[in-house]
Chains A and B, each alone.
Chain A
Amino acid sequence: MLNIVIDVLVQGLAYGILAIGVTLSYKILDFADLTVDGSFPLGAVIAAVCLVNQVPITIAMFLAFVGGALAGVITGLIHVKLKITGLLSGILVMTGLYSINLMVGGNKSNIPVFNQATIFSIGSWVDEFDPSLRSAMVRFYPVLVVLIIVIILKLIMDWFLSTQIGYLIRITGDNPQLVTALGEDIGKTKIIALSLSNGIAALSGSVIMQLYRFYDLSMGSGTVVSGLAAVVLGLTLFSWIKSMKVTSIVILGSIVYRLSISIALALRLPPSNLKLMSALIFIGAIMINNGHLKEKLNQWLGGIKYVVSEKHL
């Protein structure tokens, strides 16, 4: 049981990084960006190749971020300069990235990193504690590491969104005409946001790769759906908490999403159905969010409340 909780937390938080990236493009910029399906494994493969070649892990993750950011810039340039729709621009770059990822990986479709130290490898300092405490520390260490990364990222993102450039990105998603009226190039704003969003997605890929200790070319497929599912679940469940920032909301959403997948797996659904489940959870969350189901639910709950209050009288 505790293992499941730890797994859910680690994965939820690690995918929470992705959710923050996806929030920036989908929710704030209002740009359906499928590049993420390619930039997520790009980050993973860059980090894996770096680790195998003894590059320090911090530099590896930084390079993963830069790689993803470049992919986002390319999507942005295709969209802005060639006037291709956002959706298609993302698909084009995602398709191209498949080959790029193979190239970066040295034509290998998977790279194990079992023998290399990762951010999740606890140092030898832990040996000084007595065995029972030590095993607990080893188990919780990954949660702590990924929690620190997510919190730092969240704080940076909150700060960024409160700067003038952050506001421009929000206005771009809100009312593009106003960005032009403010004398700013809307294309530039979009490119900045897309590069940041994909950089974060790639960073998330590098963290997930270290978690599984394995890079696989196919790990990118469905990234957008799982990222978005976290966003929509978070917004559906937690947006009533007024003081909570959107970054925190999507991190929580990501944890709930991983929890629901764990529950599905615990119910002995075959893991091969995972992508189908992702899609279904996503559709369910959207339905609730769209208000159709919410209305039904409210009517139903309202009925109960009515009965309860009647009894009360």
Chain B
Amino acid sequence: MLLVKNIYKTFNPGTSNEMNLYQNLSISVKAGEFVTVIGSNGSGKSSFLNMIAGSIHADGGQIEFLGQDISLKKEHQRSTKIARVYQDPLKGTAPSLTILENLSMAANKGKPFNLKKGVNLKQINDFKLLLSRLNLNLEDKLETKVGLLSGGQRQALSLLMATIVEPQLLLLDEHTAALDPKTSELIINLTEALVHEKKLTTIMVTHNLKQAIEVGDRLIMFHKGKIILDINGEDKKNLTVSELINTFNTLHINNDLSDALLLI
């Protein structure tokens, strides 16, 4: 499904800020897998998503997706099949367009955008049904500009928009990190429901170790551009937060207290 092969990436080459992130990074993701990704700041987990999505390009190596080499494809070409939800709830929606207009455009993804009406009134009932699942009363606010919604509402809408046309791969980039605990839980529940229902192949980066353990069926940990932990199946189900922290410590990770602190 997704094959990341021998990736090399150096940021700011030739300058004093040169950062050699990936050296021969390889990983494969099977269809239908839900992978959670953890790691401290600068460990390369976000760049990993950026590389798959195409917003940064690797210096060497290959990314194979659905049996095709997509290394040279541009971000917008990949995004018809690879959907993404960002940490910033503002990034997934257009604020001056209404909910209806946002959903209509998202529902047309993968098809050509031309001089047809931007809003297809026939879809309104489908949209209402979709929105009613959120329990945020958005189904009565189809004509409301998205800019007037709260961050949580916008993130829920972003998630719907990313999956309304079923993507082959869903990338979640710490998509609950900017929300309050209650909304965060709502979004994560919605994520699990959508992923489960549509059997989406998903890669979710998160800062929250508890979330990384509870959600998904495979967990990988990045450190300094390397995958230092890759757990799935029964092992993942039995994993606990303290075990993870122990792993952290046994790996002599000194300056990365931030993740551990999250759990206190």
A175 touches which of B91, B101, B118 (Cβ 8 Å): B91
Q: Which residues of B contact A185 (CB under 8 A)?
A: 74, 76
**Interface stretch of the complex, out of B4-12, B27-35, B62-70, B78-86:** B78-86
User: Complex formed: what's the CA distance from A110 to B113 in Å?
Assistant: 43
Look across to chain B and name the residue whose beta carbon is closest to the beta carbon of A174: B94
Is A163's CB under 8 angstroms from B117's CB? yes
Q: How far is the CA of A294 from the CA of B116 in the complex (A)?
A: 40
Interface residues of B in 92-108 (CB under 8 A from A): 92-97, 101, 104-106, 108
- Residues from chain A with Cβ under 8 Å of B259 in the complex: none
Q: Which residues of A contact B117 (CB under 8 A)?
A: 162-164
Contact B114 A165 (CB under 8 A): yes
Closest to A164 in B: B113
Residues of chain A within 8 A (CB-CB) of B101 are: 167
A165: B residues at CB distance < 8 A: 113-115
| Beta-carbon contacts under 8 Å, A152-203 to B | 160, 162-168, 170-171, 173-175, 177-186
What is the bound-complex CA distance between A162 and B76, given in angstroms?
A: 23
Task: Judge whether A183 and B109 touch: CB under 8 Å.
Answer: yes
CA distance A20 to B210 in the complex (A): 53
Q: A181-B79, A183-B109, A184-B76 are in contact. Are A166 and B95 (CB under 8 A)?
A: no
A170 to B92, CA, bound (A): 14
Does B178 sit within 8 A of A, measured CB to CB? no
- Which of A162, A166, A168, A180 interacts with B75 by CB under 8 Å? A180
The CB with the most chain B CB atoms within 10 A, among A165, A170, A178, is that of A178
Specify which of A160, A173, A180, A182 is in contact with B105 (CB 8 Å cutoff).
Answer: A182
**Chain A residues closer than 8 Å to B116, beta-carbon distance:** 163-164
Q: Is A162 a contact of B119 with CB atoms below 8 Å?
A: yes
- The CA of A32 and the CA of B52, in the complex, are separated in Å by 33
Q: Is the CB of B113 within 8 A of A178?
A: no
Closest to A163 in B: B115
Whether A178 lies near B91 (C-beta < 8 A) is: yes
How distant is A131 from chain B, measured CB to nearest CB, in Å? 49
A191 to chain B, nearest CB (A): 14
* A164 and B108 form a contact (CB under 8 A): yes
Known: A175-B91, A182-B105, A185-B76. A170 touches B96 (CB 8 A): yes
Chain B residues, CB < 8 A from A182: 76, 79, 105-106, 108-109, 113
Inside 8 A of A166's CB, which chain B residues have their CB? 118
Do the beta carbons of A171 and B115 come within 8 Å of each other? Answer: no
Task: With CB as the reference atom, state the residue of chain B lying closest to A180.
Answer: B76
Q: Are B109 and A175 in contact (CB under 8 A)?
A: no
Checking A162, A164, A171 against B114 with a beta-carbon cut-off of 8 angstroms, the contacting residue is A164
Taking the complex as formed, is B177 at the interface, i.e. its CB lies under 8 A from any CB of chain A?
Answer: no
The residue on B at minimum CB distance from A172 is: B94
Q: Are A163 and B76 in contact (CB under 8 A)?
A: no
Q: Complex Cα distance A168/B115, Å?
A: 11
> What separation, in Å, do the CA atoms of A164 and B75 have in the docked complex?
20
Give B119's nearest chain A residue, CB to CB. Answer: A162
Q: A179 contacts which chain B residues (CB < 8 A)?
A: 76
Q: How far is the CB of B90 from chain A (nearest CB, A)?
A: 7
On whether A168 and B91 interact (CB within 8 A), knowing A163-B118, A180-B76, the answer reads no
Question: What are 5 A-B interface contacts by the 8 Å CB criterion?
Answer: A164-B116, A171-B105, A174-B97, A181-B83, A183-B110
Q: Which 7 A-B pairs have the closest CB atoms?
A: A183-B80, A167-B118, A164-B113, A174-B94, A171-B94, A163-B115, A180-B76
